[in-house]
Amino acid sequence: MEPRGVIFDMDGVIIDSGSTHLASWKQLAVENRLEITDRQFWETFGRPSREIIRLRWGADLSDEEVRRLDERKEAIYRELIRGNVPVMPGAVELMRALHADGWRLAIGSSGPPENVRLVVSELGVADLLAATTDASDVRRGKPDPEVFLLAADRMGVAPARCIVIEDAHHGIEAAHRAGMKAVALTSTHPPCQLGDADLVVSRLGDVSPEGLAELLAEG
């Protein structure tokens, strides 16, 4: 049988990181005498940090200043979650069930590699993963499909045999543009904003290897 793969977005799917990311953005803004509102944060949640910085701080920032702000923001975030990673209920259990059923697993994240390594290490799931991809691996962020296509390639799974689990519209769009099925988790956005997904669930406990196999078989 051709291998099957599941690609997990990290923030909002494996970890319930929204409130911590919001806190880190607000701390960064205060340090730089700016403000980021809750609404502004949620409008861009899941996009690469450097894109958000140019959007909120100004498109004319130098690459060096964008890099400095990005690295500081992510350092704040890691300080906040280290030793207390807010794992999403059912995430590790689902990963273990899929792995036991023969699925190949990957993480396809818009975050930096340091964040992915920290989460993978603290959750103890490295042995379950065939691949990880992050912002350092790609030139274009979601909704571009690059991050998911690279994850599929690293897993050795054809895109048409992959399912992406996402929490945001731009991630669902990226999955579909990659030729993959998309499961939407309503952890950060309401169902009305995720209706283009192939399946919408309110919790990861509603996802099973059998259900994903049926979704994949629908063609």
Report pLDDT digits (tens) over 10-59.
999 999 998 999 999 999 999 999 999 999 988 887 677 888 999 998 88
Give the side-chain half-sphere CA count within 13 A for 82.
Answer: 10
Provide the 10 A C-beta neighbour count for residue 24. 22
Host domain of residue 199: 5-16+86-217
* Domain harbouring 70, CATH code: 1.10.150
Residue finishing a domain among 61, 81, 101: 81
Q: Which residues are catalytic?
A: 9, 11
In terms of domains, do 114 and 132 share one?
Answer: yes
In terms of domains, do 10 and 113 share one?
Answer: yes
Transcribe 118-141 into DSSP letters: HHHHHHT-GGG-SEEE-GGG-SS-
Supply the pTM of this predicted model: 0.90
Q: Is 101 helix (H, G, I), strand (E, B) or coil?
A: coil
**132 vs 147: CA distance, rounded Å:** 9
Burial of 118 (0-12, 13-18, 19+ CB in 10 A): middle
Pick out the chain residues at pLDDT < 70: 46
* Domain harbouring 119, CATH code: 3.40.50.1000
How many structural domains are present in the chain? 2
**Length in residues, the chain:** 219
Q: State the pLDDT at residue 202.
A: 97
Q: What are phi and psi of 71, to 5 degrees?
A: -65, -40
Residue finishing a domain among 81, 107, 135: 81
Residue finishing a domain among 81, 102, 122: 81
In terms of domains, do 42 and 136 share one?
Answer: no
Q: State the pLDDT at residue 42.
A: 84
Which residue, among 190, 187, 152, has the nearest Cα to 166 in the 3D structure? 187
Contact (CB, 8 A) for 109 and 116: yes
